[in-house]
Amino acid sequence: MQQIQSDELKGVSQTLLIPLHYRVEESRSESSSFKDEIAESFHDAIAYDWSKFDADASQGWMTAAATATFYTRRAVFDEQVRSFLEKAPDGLVVNLGAGLDTRFHRLDNGRVEWIELDLPGVIAFRQKLHEPGNRRHQMIAASILDDYWVVEIKRCARSRVLFVAEGLLPYFTEEEHRKIFNCLANKFPGAEMLFQTNAPSLTAGLAQYTALSKLGMKVEMQWGLDDSRQVSALNPNVEFVQEFPLLEKYLEKHYDQFPEALRQKFSPAMARQVAKIVHVRFRE
């Protein structure tokens, strides 16, 4: 089969290649019990120089940190979505900024309704990868900042809805965060959400130390939460439930390997807030 050219992805959409690569790396690791055959097929079908993400002598620490972050992120989201489906097997999962996420195929219980939402260019790219079809697995081509997709979600919504935003929100401004959370809290009372966020005090210039630097483009993280409980300031109907730090254990062991400039920026004690997954509920 002819490979799909990765240059069809424009701007920040290119970042979807990063989690795909690390998920496949984990899937193909002999030391891992994790397996994602659909992700591997996506990876093989895309014409891209994946060696960009390989470690080099000067940035081995960065690759190790990125690997730890993506492995932990994947595991936490999988665990929390699986927990939701145990409580609501007929629920609806809405994957915001889905990219090439393959969680539906890994966690499908035969009953869940699942919607992948992303920009039209990303959905068009994904549809070229010959993903296995399922009537309970839909794609919506839209920006999360649009309004019209809400109508379709409400049409499909059942008694329980879970929104997932794995790598999406760090690229949005505070004003855009507020718009997103106002929409979800007002339109979907009783729903839950899992999202990744970073600490604003650490995001400035952080991209140069992450896998984003390997893309050969300028992509900057714009906003996030220092304290996860501050999420309620975006909308009073957003109730903080819990958080899951992504780098805490890694930094405790490997902090001394980080560049001096990064160590001056934050202490080991700040590691809990560097990157995390936050679970919230929208009050009814």
What is the reported pLDDT for 254?
A: 66
Lowest-pLDDT choice from 139-153, 165-179, 262-276: 262-276
Q: Which domain holds residue 258?
A: 4-282
pLDDT reading at 104 higher than 60:
yes
What is the reported pLDDT for 51?
A: 86
Higher-scoring residue by pLDDT: 118, 271: 118
Instruction: Measure the CA–CA gap between 39 and 17, rounded to whole angstroms.
Output: 11
Higher-scoring residue by pLDDT: 129, 218: 129
Residues 188-202, mean pLDDT to the nearest whole number: 89
Residues 250-278, mean pLDDT to the nearest whole number: 72
Q: And the tokens for 69?
A: 């972050």
Q: How many Å is the Cα radius of gyration of the chain?
A: 18
Higher-scoring residue by pLDDT: 45, 6: 45
What is the reported pLDDT for 247?
A: 76
Alpha-carbon distance values, 43 to 24, 39, 46, 137, 141 (Å):
7, 6, 6, 20, 21
Q: How many domains does the chain have?
A: 1
Q: Which residues pair with 115 in a beta bridge?
A: 94, 138
pLDDT reading at 265 higher than 70:
no
- What CATH number has the domain bearing residue 180? 3.40.50.150
